[in-house]
Amino acid sequence: MTSVDRRTLLRTGSVVGAGLAIAPVVGGAASASTSNAPAYVASGRPSLSHGVQSGDATASSAIVWGRADRPGRLIVEYGTRPDLRDAHRVRGPWLTPDGDLTGRVRLRDLPSGRRIHYRVRVEGERGAAGEAVTGSLFTAPSERSRSGVRFVWSGDTVGQGWGSNPDIGGMTIFEQMRRLRPDFFLNSGDTVYSDGPLVESVPLPDGRIWHNVVTPEKSKVAESLTEYRGQFAYNLLDRNYRAFAAEVAQINQWDDHEVRNNWYPGQILEDARYTEKRVDVLAARAGQAFREWVPIGDDRVYRKLSYGRHLDVFVLDMRTYKDPNDDNRYADPKRGLLGERQRRWLIEGLSQSRATWKVIANDLPLGLVVPDGAAAQEGVAQGDPGEPLGREMEFATILRTAQRRGVRGIVFLTADVHYTAAHHYDPSRAAFKDFDPFWEFVSGPLNAGAFGPNALDGTFGPKAEFVHAPPRANYSPLEGFQHFGEVEIDGPSGNLTVNLRDGASTVLWSRTLRPVR
């Protein structure tokens, strides 16, 4: 059966077109007609405009984020008691328009494996502070702890013209994830859709109407820094997203839609929607907005975070160093998605890790074929089931080296393709044999069009053990097929259980993996 895939839709323009209409914001948030640009006032106390967020929590530190409605100093108080009677106080940075009035504070010397409560406020020039906003996060267990870890992951938020819909209570999948009270959330990329404008209403095939909250920055493709900032501000207008962000620490990576569909460095666009055709210029603006609005602990996207003796998370950046999208059948080992430095970092990190499980957060799937037009390829695979070619060579090197160095417990987690699946890779089925069997789990979207499934490439011997995808392209969130994944690692045994859940948090498929000693 032939259908229009997600990326074809994106190449031909937004599914709903462009336009501007202002709708009420879900749950009493600030008016959607107010953009992320600062609203300066002559009097009153400064306040936080978009709630609070936390990220990159370790056993002893975490990032806390806030944004003001005018210049002021970010103040964070934190402790282990919900009433914060044991609070420590940190004077954070002065928030200015140069940083879109956003700021972050790194909390240090935190106790491991504990719920940390915090409150954030903004002080003006004379010390007057606005109302505080509270939040909490969970620190990672220590290396010696026998505690387990539980987290959720997914990606793909507000894509294909589907925004926050007040008729259904907004982006309710975030509330479902919040109710599970995970230790952290791994956002696998496409945290926003800067190339996906929204309009006020979209007719559905069954006659219903989907209504969007719309802001000026979400009414066209993002090109300016202000428009890129507005993509991230939009998500925090939704009460579900904002409540989730206030309670669950994030690990964020980026993929393509933070800038533009299927982008790569050096690309010159042939898209009439853009007046700025140089992707490098757009990526610089998007990257600044990402680092301003996301609670990331380092300006470098690829990084490792450890969670006790059982889990190391290796967060990849498969976009910043990416080679051009061609047929992906080249034989040049210096090309690829990661770049030489990141490739070495991953290989050495896996080799040195003593964690039971090494989770590789890959924002592009390993074995799924993700085309970019008729002849080019966006991802790792290209549909040739033979020996590794193109970007597959990069991962063949990683997998081969891991096997030779005795690395055990590799698991890949990804999103990107807008459905959920469980893929088992085995050298007995593969053209390339030099690796140990492993799993890759796919989940998404969070609030975007649902698509799939994509074809699997046989080079690394994948088998789809489970797939949940819609029967046609671009199912709206109202029609289902929204997904997130949950990982729970048992402390005493080290067993890792994966639950693939739908938008109502129903478990669709589950599998427990046991450590390989």
Using CA atoms, how far apart are residues 466 and 262, in angstroms rounded to an integer?
Answer: 26
36, part of any domain: no
Residues 282 and 269 in one domain: yes
1, part of any domain: no
Backbone angles phi, psi at 508, to 5 degrees: -90, -30
- Write the CATH number for 166: 3.60.21.70
Model confidence pLDDT, tens digit, residues 383-392: 999 999 999 9
Q: Read off the pLDDT band of 36 (50, 70, 90).
A: low
Residues 118 and 206 in one domain: no
Q: What does the pLDDT average to over 142-161?
A: 95
Residues 107 and 226 in one domain: no
230, part of any domain: yes
40, part of any domain: no
Q: Tell me which amino acid residue 59 is.
A: A
Residues 95 and 147 in one domain: no
Residues 105 and 75 in one domain: yes
Print burial letters for 292-322: b (CB count within 10 Å at least 16), e (below 16).
Answer: bbbbbbeeebbbbbbbbbbbbbbbbbbbbbb
Residues 280 and 313 in one domain: yes
- Is residue 212 within 8 Å of 163, Cβ to Cβ? yes
pTM assigned to the model: 0.92
Residues 324 and 305 in one domain: yes
The last residue of one of the domains, among 138, 167, 198, is 138
Residues 421 and 507 in one domain: yes
Q: Is the pLDDT of residue 489 over 50?
A: yes
Q: What is the pLDDT of residue 287?
A: 98
The last residue of one of the domains, among 138, 161, 181, is 138
- Write the CATH number for 120: 2.60.40.380
35, part of any domain: no
- Is residue 439 within 8 Å of 513, Cβ to Cβ? yes
List residues bridging with 187 in a β-sheet: 154, 252
Q: What is the pLDDT of residue 12?
A: 36
224, part of any domain: yes
The last residue of one of the domains, among 121, 138, 155, is 138
491, part of any domain: yes
**Maximum Cα–Cα distance for the chain, whole Å?**
70
Model confidence pLDDT, tens digit, residues 66-105: 999 999 999 999 999 999 999 999 999 999 999 999 999 9
- Which tokens is 291 given? 């680092």
Residues 125 and 152 in one domain: no
Model confidence pLDDT, tens digit, residues 168-216: 999 999 999 999 999 999 999 999 999 999 999 999 999 999 999 999 9
Residues 105 and 247 in one domain: no
Q: Is the pLDDT of residue 514 over 50?
A: yes
Residues 54 and 170 in one domain: no
**CA of 347: how far to CAs of 392, 397, 442, in Å?**
15, 9, 22
How many domains are there within the chain?
2
Mean model confidence pLDDT for the chain: 92
Strand ranges, E, within 253-341 = 303-307, 311-315
Closest C-alpha to 423, from 469, 454, 464, 381: 464
399, part of any domain: yes
In this structure, of 39-48, 228-237, 355-364, the range with the lowest mean pLDDT score is: 39-48
Q: Is the pLDDT of residue 144 over 90?
A: no
- Is residue 140 within 8 Å of 113, Cβ to Cβ? yes
Residues 306 and 387 in one domain: yes
Domain that holds residue 169: 6-28+142-513
**CA of 398: how far to CAs of 250, 360, 473, in Å?**
27, 12, 34
